[in-house]
Chains A and B, each alone.
Chain A
Amino acid sequence: MGAARKILASAIACLGLWAPVMAADTPGKPMPEANEQLVEKGREIYFARCSFCHGLLGDGEGPAAKYLDPRPRDFTLGTFKFRTTQSGELPTNEDLFRTVSRGLTGTAMQAFDSDLIKNGLSEDERWAVIAYIKTFAQEFEDPELDPVKTGKVVSLPANRAPFNDETVAKGKAVFEKAKCWSCHGKLGRGDGNKEFRKDDWGFPIRIRNVTHPWKIKAGSEVEDIYMRFSTGISGTPMPSFVKSLNEEDRWNLANYIKSLQHTLTSHQALKANLVAGALPEAPGDEAWNAAEPMDMRLTGQVIAAPRWQNPSVEMVTVRALFNDTEIAFKLTWDDPFKDVTHDPSKEFDTVELAKVGGFSSYVETNGMIPRALETFRDSIAMQFAVKPPQGTKKPHFYRGSSSDQVHLWVWKADLAEAGKRGTEEGNARGWKQPIKVQGEDNQQITGKATWDQGRWSVVMKRPLKTGDKNDVQFTKGVFIPMSLNAWDGSNGEHGLIMSLSTWHYVVLEAATPMSVYIYAILAFLIMGALGIWLMRKAENEAEETT
């Protein structure tokens, strides 16, 4: 039957109709009875695959746990975030199965479904490990707490509202009425609170930016979203709206949240668009609408100590405009807090982390660095290769290399806030040395920035050419390697504790040469003449034969 199904699937695929790839996050059969044998099998799997984060005791204190945010679940408390049960209830077996199978997006908890991961776990293995996990919390032994037996399951109703402008608009009204914005922000960027919230374990939590689907842990589909605000997220301030909103409202709200999700661009080269006249200086200037955006993904700086795997800035959208003499870049990224102070005395001493054979070269999530407001500044840096690449050769994307330097345009929120220039030009030859700031005479970048509704917008402008051999020079049509470093101060980021991107490119659009149009018109004329000649010939032949 399997083979027949495969052939059928290929036949369908050949017709260009893709059979949706269904990951098995719903089990084929219910959980087998948890006997001693199953639990022991689960223990073996847990020991090899789970204990390094979740701990030998299931307390979420494995060797890797201190470096993770969100932290691994503590199974001993019986508190689980992602359920299909009422607020505060235990999860169902299927809930645990779903999480183990598909993982939690954007976190260290990854998919373990063997259909998704070659060396993942089979359905039987997943049930075994779930049987073992359930032994950690006594609550699972109490039949009175069983959400299925006590009817505490929140089912997904079949009356799902269609996804269209009308239901999205209704959902927006629900978003207002239910005050979702008080935490998630008016535009859903997670900027509603003026200070950090803490979870039940006392750790600072980040309110979800619902516009970034790659961070929505338990799934970004409408059904997943519906379930989240129906059940609430245990251990966090996210409540259940099952009593305050009816089913229709919740479906509409889910559609609205879905409509806020950002779709990433996929190109790797930013086209700087040519404009006539002066370049816009203010981030809000309408002239920026003419610039094509490019989304750049960033990730934690995990290449050298101090390594950091909990970056805040994971996407920056870049635009560029240029005229005859200048080029301007606009960078926008989401950050729920505007951090405009910097206290160098609180900076982290990285000496211990940088030792060979030290305990760890990663920065711990909590405790090592202050993740608090009014401590470190928000900042961003654009990085360019100074020399245009010869062949494919470039400096290393992490601050260049000793033989190949990079040029950095650093913008610092605290300087800008204090009314200073805000931008600093510098050079680097590898990450081992700090950025060498250029002399005052060579500081040619001007910058302007705004922070609004959880989003920074920064404009940096410079002449296309400078006389300085340490500067990047912009020539039309040349691909210039470009990358980013970013810091979110209230996430404890400073120095090399930051997020960064790999190399992308920026290229100044070159006017289309006249020859291109001439060739195209020529091709049209030749083909046209040929057609007419053939037509005439055919008509003449017809006359001759008659």
Chain B
Amino acid sequence: MKKLKIGSFLTVVVTLLAVYALVKWGIPAVSREITTLPFPLPVPGTLMFMYMVLTIIALFLFVTFSDEGLDDFLRPVRKFLRGGYGKIPRAVILLAIPAIAGWQVYENTVPRVEVPASLRIQHPSSNFPRSFEALKNPVANPSDADIKTFVEQAKANEVSFIPQVREDIDNWAEENDPEHVLEFFAVAPVKKLLEQVQSGKVDMATAKAALLEKNLFEGRALYAMNCRACHGDSVAGDGPMADGFKLRPINFTDNGTIETIVEGYTFWRVTNGGPGLPTEATPWDSAMPEWKLSLTEEERWKIILAEYNLAGKTPRIPESH
């Protein structure tokens, strides 16, 4: 069997290039396929440095394993230095190496215009008030009294809605002349409630499910009016205003965002916005408004209900529960 043999010098060069290419382009490309994110995961410079140092150590061991090995490695180098590959290539390379070294030193020392780096903590907790920790979303967990009131309203066909959605519902009712106002709901729990209202026997579980749908409907409308411009139609952090912000609005469909925090935390962030953040979360760069200046607590909770629902996520359960 004939063995394909390249000199050990070339082997070293090819290995170094191959490892560099793998770390520089291979890892980001594969990471993109694995994570299915629209961008590659970058390889930090220090990691690249460590990989290359390890490779060089390994190659050094390989080359110096025996005297013959070292000789094998140095033979083409010596031949080159003696001008065995021609005098002109020797002159070019002996000039090019110092030139590259000089250029590298220049590149690394010349002052550059680079934005000062700033670290930012995504979910700071240093000033998160403990009283918010165990808060439960009242519109996601309605009391029996709330449900009973809703049933009474449904039976009397006098369900009250927030003013922001009333005009659209009224227009719909005028056009469709429904027997019951809730008929515009294209969801099963409300349809079931309407059947039960008609038969006169409404059970609490059905009523609760329908009330949640009503709260969700109102929450979605409030989201579309207040939050959509930045966080987007599909809570993906890509609303029409998003491109103007250096700190992009959060994409709630991403893992590790709203599902990793308790509802009380979400409520606190919505309530106090960027200015409510501690220093480590760079409040001066956050465009998140202090919604307590515009929205009532109930409106904020309804929005949070809709936000989790649109994202297809559930909040983390507080530890004390």
Contact A16 B25 (CB under 8 A): yes
Contact B82 A523 (CB under 8 A): no
Contact B102 A524 (CB under 8 A): yes
A29-53 residues with Cβ-Cβ distance < 8 A to B are 40, 43-44, 46-49, 51-53
Q: List the B residue with the shortest CB-CB distance to A132.
A: B186
Contact A356 B275 (CB under 8 A): no
Q: Which residues does chain B contribute within 8 Å of A541, judged by CB atoms?
A: 78
Known: A43-B186, A505-B115. A299 touches B244 (CB 8 A): yes
Contact B228 A519 (CB under 8 A): no
Contact B293 A305 (CB under 8 A): yes
Looking at the assembled complex, report how far the CB atom of B105 sits from the nearest CB atom of chain A, in whole angstroms: 4
Bound-state Cα–Cα, A6 to B34, Å: 9
Q: List the B residue with the shortest CB-CB distance to A54.
A: B168
Looking at the assembled complex, report how far the CB atom of A99 sits from the nearest CB atom of chain B, in whole angstroms: 13
Q: Which residues does chain A contribute within 8 Å of B247, judged by CB atoms?
A: 502
Q: Which residues does chain A contribute within 8 Å of B175, judged by CB atoms?
A: 57
Contact B220 A48 (CB under 8 A): yes
CB of A55 closer than 8 Å to a CB of B: yes
B47-100 residues with Cβ-Cβ distance < 8 A to A are 78, 81-83, 90, 94-95, 97-99
Contact A401 B275 (CB under 8 A): yes
Q: List the B residue with the shortest CB-CB distance to A114.
A: B234
CB of A493 closer than 8 Å to a CB of B: no
Contact A63 B296 (CB under 8 A): no
B105-137 residues with Cβ-Cβ distance < 8 A to A are 105-106, 109-111, 113-116, 118-119
Contact B168 A119 (CB under 8 A): no
Looking at the assembled complex, report how far the CB atom of B89 sits from the nearest CB atom of chain A, in whole angstroms: 13
Looking at the assembled complex, report how far the CB atom of B235 sits from the nearest CB atom of chain A, in whole angstroms: 7
Q: Which residues does chain B contribute within 8 Å of A515, judged by CB atoms?
A: 109
Residue of A214, A314, A524, A526 with most partner-chain B CB within 10 A: A524
Contact A532 B243 (CB under 8 A): no
Bound-state Cα–Cα, A144 to B52, Å: 70
Looking at the assembled complex, report how far the CB atom of A20 sits from the nearest CB atom of chain B, in whole angstroms: 13
Known: A55-B171, A528-B98. A502 touches B244 (CB 8 A): yes
CB of A258 closer than 8 Å to a CB of B: no
Question: What mask results when residues 269 to 298 of chain B are scored 1 for a CB within 8 Å of chain A, else 0?
Answer: 000001100010011110101101111100
CB of A152 closer than 8 Å to a CB of B: no
Looking at the assembled complex, report how far the CB atom of B217 sits from the nearest CB atom of chain A, in whole angstroms: 8
Q: Which residues does chain B contribute within 8 Å of A525, judged by CB atoms?
A: 98
Looking at the assembled complex, report how far the CB atom of A5 sits from the nearest CB atom of chain B, in whole angstroms: 11
Q: Which residues does chain B contribute within 8 Å of A532, judged by CB atoms?
A: 94
Q: List the A residue with the shortest CB-CB distance to B279.
A: A393
CB of A242 closer than 8 Å to a CB of B: no
Q: Which residues does chain B contribute within 8 Å of A517, judged by CB atoms?
A: 106
Question: What mask results when residues 175 to 215 of chain B are scored 1 for a CB within 8 Å of chain A, else 0?
Answer: 10000000011110000000000000000000000000000
Contact A309 B240 (CB under 8 A): yes
Q: List the B residue with the shortest CB-CB distance to A121.
A: B234
Q: Which residues does chain A contribute within 8 Å of B266, judged by CB atoms?
A: none
B14-44 residues with Cβ-Cβ distance < 8 A to A are 25-26, 29-30, 32-33, 38
Bound-state Cα–Cα, A227 to B179, Å: 46
CB of A387 closer than 8 Å to a CB of B: no
CB of A396 closer than 8 Å to a CB of B: yes
State which size class the interface on A falls in: 35 or more
B168: which of A61, A309, A360 is its contact (CB, 8 Å)? A61
Contact B295 A357 (CB under 8 A): yes
Contact B102 A394 (CB under 8 A): no
Q: Which residues does chain A contribute within 8 Å of B310, judged by CB atoms?
A: 119
Contact A359 B164 (CB under 8 A): yes
Q: Which residues does chain A contribute within 8 Å of B243, judged by CB atoms?
A: 214, 297, 299
A254-307 residues with Cβ-Cβ distance < 8 A to B are 267-269, 271, 297-300, 302-305, 307
Q: List the A residue with the shortest CB-CB distance to B33.
A: A10
Bound-state Cα–Cα, A535 to B185, Å: 87
Contact A119 B234 (CB under 8 A): yes
Q: Which residues does chain B contribute within 8 Å of A112, judged by CB atoms?
A: 233-234
Residue of B168, B223, B240, B283 with most partner-chain A CB within 10 A: B240
Looking at the assembled complex, report how far the CB atom of A102 sits from the nearest CB atom of chain B, in whole angstroms: 12
Known: A119-B235, A527-B102. A477 touches B111 (CB 8 A): yes
Question: What mask results when residues 312 to 343 of chain A are scored 1 for a CB within 8 Å of chain B, else 0?
Answer: 00100000000000000000000000000000
Bound-state Cα–Cα, A503 to B175, Å: 49
A53: which of B32, B184, B224 is its contact (CB, 8 Å)? B224
Bound-state Cα–Cα, A154 to B121, Å: 52
Contact A396 B283 (CB under 8 A): yes
Number of chain B residues whose Cβ lies closer than 8 Å to a Cβ of chain A: 90
Bound-state Cα–Cα, A47 to B220, Å: 10
Q: Which residues does chain A contribute within 8 Å of B294, judged by CB atoms?
A: 304-305, 354, 356, 358, 361
Looking at the assembled complex, report how far the CB atom of A368 sits from the nearest CB atom of chain B, in whole angstroms: 15
Looking at the assembled complex, report how far the CB atom of A51 sits from the nearest CB atom of chain B, in whole angstroms: 8
Contact B33 A304 (CB under 8 A): no
Q: List the A residue with the shortest CB-CB distance to B111.
A: A510
Contact B94 A520 (CB under 8 A): no
Contact B239 A67 (CB under 8 A): no
CB of B246 closer than 8 Å to a CB of A: yes
Looking at the assembled complex, report how far the CB atom of A360 sits from the nearest CB atom of chain B, in whole angstroms: 6
Bound-state Cα–Cα, A9 to B30, Å: 9
Contact B225 A44 (CB under 8 A): no
Q: Which residues does chain A contribute within 8 Å of B83, judged by CB atoms?
A: 539
Contact B240 A6 (CB under 8 A): no
CB of B250 closer than 8 Å to a CB of A: no
Surface stretch bound by B, among A103-111, A175-183, A421-429: A103-111
Q: Which residues does chain B contribute within 8 Å of A6, judged by CB atoms?
A: 33
Q: Which residues does chain B contribute within 8 Å of A271, judged by CB atoms?
A: 113
Looking at the assembled complex, report how far the CB atom of A67 sits from the nearest CB atom of chain B, in whole angstroms: 7
Q: Which residues does chain B contribute within 8 Å of A512, judged by CB atoms?
A: 110-111
Q: Which residues does chain B contribute within 8 Å of A117, judged by CB atoms?
A: 234, 236, 238, 253
CB of B10 closer than 8 Å to a CB of A: no
CB of A395 closer than 8 Å to a CB of B: yes
Q: List the A residue with the shortest CB-CB distance to B80.
A: A538
Known: A299-B241, A501-B244, A532-B94. A44 touches B186 (CB 8 A): yes
Question: What mask results when residues 52 to 80 of chain A are scored 1 for a CB within 8 Å of chain B, else 0?
Answer: 11011101011110010000000000000
CB of B299 closer than 8 Å to a CB of A: yes
A61: which of B25, B111, B171, B225 is its contact (CB, 8 Å)? B171
A458-474 residues with Cβ-Cβ distance < 8 A to B are none
Bound-state Cα–Cα, A47 to B221, Å: 11
5 closest Cβ pairs, A-B complex: A299-B244, A524-B102, A538-B81, A527-B98, A52-B224
- Besides the known contacts A47-B187, A396-B274, A500-B244, 19 further A-B residue pairs in the complex with CB atoms under 8 A apart: A44-B186, A44-B187, A108-B239, A118-B253, A304-B293, A358-B294, A361-B226, A401-B284, A505-B115, A509-B113, A510-B111, A520-B105, A520-B109, A524-B98, A526-B98, A527-B97, A528-B98, A531-B98, A538-B82
Please give the residue numbers on chain A whose beta carbons come within 8 Å of chain B beta carbons, in ascending order.
6, 9-10, 13-14, 16, 21, 40, 43-44, 46-49, 51-53, 55-57, 59, 61-64, 67, 103, 106-110, 112, 117-120, 214, 267-269, 271, 297-300, 302-305, 307, 309, 314, 354, 356-362, 389, 392-398, 401, 404, 477, 479, 499-505, 507, 509-510, 512-513, 515-517, 519-528, 531-532, 534-535, 537-539, 541-542
Can you list 10 pairs linking A and B with CB atoms under 8 Å apart? A108-B240, A109-B233, A119-B235, A298-B244, A356-B295, A358-B294, A401-B275, A523-B101, A524-B101, A527-B102
Please give the residue numbers on chain B whose beta carbons come within 8 Å of chain A beta carbons, in ascending order.
25-26, 29-30, 32-33, 38, 78, 81-83, 90, 94-95, 97-99, 101-106, 109-111, 113-116, 118-119, 163-165, 167-169, 171-172, 175, 184-187, 220-221, 223-226, 228-230, 232-236, 238-247, 253-254, 274-275, 279, 282-285, 287, 289-290, 292-296, 299, 310-312
